[in-house]
């Protein structure tokens, strides 16, 4: 039994397809990540799952319900945190929380154990207006409000966008804590490195899922050879490698270059020679394990 089940889902905005024949399943109590750049269709998908938007066609079941028809029931089972801070800025922390608890027909007290670890961090400031909170505190409040009615599924649209690295790590820890209460979590993020923190992920690009599975699965299904080239002269080497025969892909990853070549066609030695022939010395080349980002770049370019 899947918590979220989507088959052949399509949604167009005018003539632009936002979601193109999408298939996706999320298991109960899974931590699922939708990974992809801006405009990939992550928000559209989440809005369809949360019953805010109707799809054009396709099969869709969320918590066993049809968001188009059973939205009343479904909304009680869903917690949604939109990408943009959507709480009342002129109400205090406590007032926002009480408001959303009442609206869901519950009280803060009733589900306090669920939000305790998050809410207790901002509780000392409970009389402060939401609009005057820092980014991290706003996020904690939004998460508390989305959880206050003890939803079965928590849906978070880019919760870590625009948040500093420390707060981001903290936030993922909070999500893991929430998961331990048996809640299914669907989170979207444009940060590929966050993919590794999810149980399962779907790489999205241009309204399509280009690859899905656990982060390890996605890495292991990488069909080509990946070489990591270390050099002091990144831009020059990059330029040289672009001329490598039968090249699939080359990209800079911080202090190294990732070179993708057809499986079992080239030895590391050949690459070193190729670069040194062009007058760049002192380089190291080794075979590497593909990261999510490599997979994303590979799958999104091979899909075009």
Alpha-helical runs (H) found in the chain: 42-49, 71-77, 93-103, 112-122, 135-147, 165-179, 215-220, 234-241, 268-277, 292-302
Quick check: 191 binds another protein (CB under 8 A)? no
- Return the number of the residue (33 or 82) whose C-beta is nearest another protein: 82
Is 79 in contact with 151 (CB distance < 8 Å)? yes
Quick check: 88 binds another protein (CB under 8 A)? yes
Closest by CA to 19, choosing from 208, 216, 149, 267, is 208
Quick check: 216 binds another protein (CB under 8 A)? no
Quick check: 56 binds another protein (CB under 8 A)? no
Which of 12, 21, 70, 76 lies at the binding interface for another protein (CB under 8 A)? 76
Of 28-36, 46-54, 165-173, 254-262: span binding another protein (CB under 8 A): 46-54
- Return the number of the residue (95 or 293) whose C-beta is nearest another protein: 95
Quick check: 75 binds another protein (CB under 8 A)? yes
Buried b or exposed e, range 119-135, using 16+ CB within 10 angstroms: bebbeebeeeebeebee
Minimal distance, residue 68 CB to another protein, in Å: 8
Both tokens of 210, joined, read 């280009």
Quick check: 65 binds another protein (CB under 8 A)? no
Question: What is the 8-class DSSP label of residue 71?
Answer: H
- Return the number of the residue (76 or 272) whose C-beta is nearest another protein: 76
Which of 7, 8, 37, 54 lies at the binding interface for another protein (CB under 8 A)? 54
Tell me the CB-side half-sphere exposure of residue 178, using CA atoms within 13 A: 31
CA distance 41 to 69: 23
Minimal distance, residue 80 CB to another protein, in Å: 4
Which of 90, 164, 173, 217 lies at the binding interface for another protein (CB under 8 A)? 90
Of 95-103, 194-202, 242-250, 263-271: span binding another protein (CB under 8 A): 95-103
39 Cβ partners below 8 Å, 6+ apart? Answer: 206
Quick check: 89 binds another protein (CB under 8 A)? yes
Measured CA distances, 296 to 32, 35, 157, 191, 210 (Å): 16, 9, 20, 11, 8
Quick check: 118 binds another protein (CB under 8 A)? no
Quick check: 52 binds another protein (CB under 8 A)? yes
Which of 9, 44, 51, 150 lies at the binding interface for another protein (CB under 8 A)? 51
């Amino acid at each position: 039994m899947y918590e979220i089940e989507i088959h052949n889902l399509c949604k167009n905005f005018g003539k632009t397809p936002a979601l193109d024949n999408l298939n996706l399943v999320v298991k109960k109590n899974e931590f699922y990540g939708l990974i992809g750049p801006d405009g990939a269709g992550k928000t559209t998908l989440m809005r369809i799952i949360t019953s805010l938007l109707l799809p054009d066609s396709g099969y869709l079941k969320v918590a066993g319900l049809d968001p188009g028809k059973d939205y009343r029931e479904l909304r009680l089972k869903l917690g949604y945190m939109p990408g943009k801070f959507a709480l009342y800025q002129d109400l205090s922390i406590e007032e926002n929380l009480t408001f959303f608890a009442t609206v869901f027909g519950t009280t803060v007290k009733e589900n306090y154990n669920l939000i305790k670890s998050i809410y207790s961090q901002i509780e000392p400031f409970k009389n402060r207006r939401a609009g005057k909170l820092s980014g991290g505190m706003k996020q904690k409040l939004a998460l508390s409000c989305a959880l206050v009615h003890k939803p079965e599924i928590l849906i978070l649209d880019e919760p870590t966008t625009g948040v500093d690295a420390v707060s981001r790590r903290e936030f993922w820890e909070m999500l893991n804590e929430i998961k331990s209460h048996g809640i299914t979590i669907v989170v979207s993020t444009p940060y590929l490195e966050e993919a590794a923190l999810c149980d399962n992920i779907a790489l999205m690009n241009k309204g399509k899922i280009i690859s899905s599975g656990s982060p390890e699965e996605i890495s292991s299904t990488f069909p080509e050879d990946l070489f990591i080239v270390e050099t002091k002269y990144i831009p020059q080497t990059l330029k040289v490698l672009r001329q490598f025969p039968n090249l699939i892909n080359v990209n800079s990853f911080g202090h190294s270059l990732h070179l993708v070549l057809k499986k079992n066609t080239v030895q590391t030695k050949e690459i070193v020679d190729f670069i040194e022939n062009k007058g760049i010395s002192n380089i190291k080349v080794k075979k590497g394990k593909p990261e999510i980002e490599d997979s994303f770049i590979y799958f999104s370019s091979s899909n075009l």
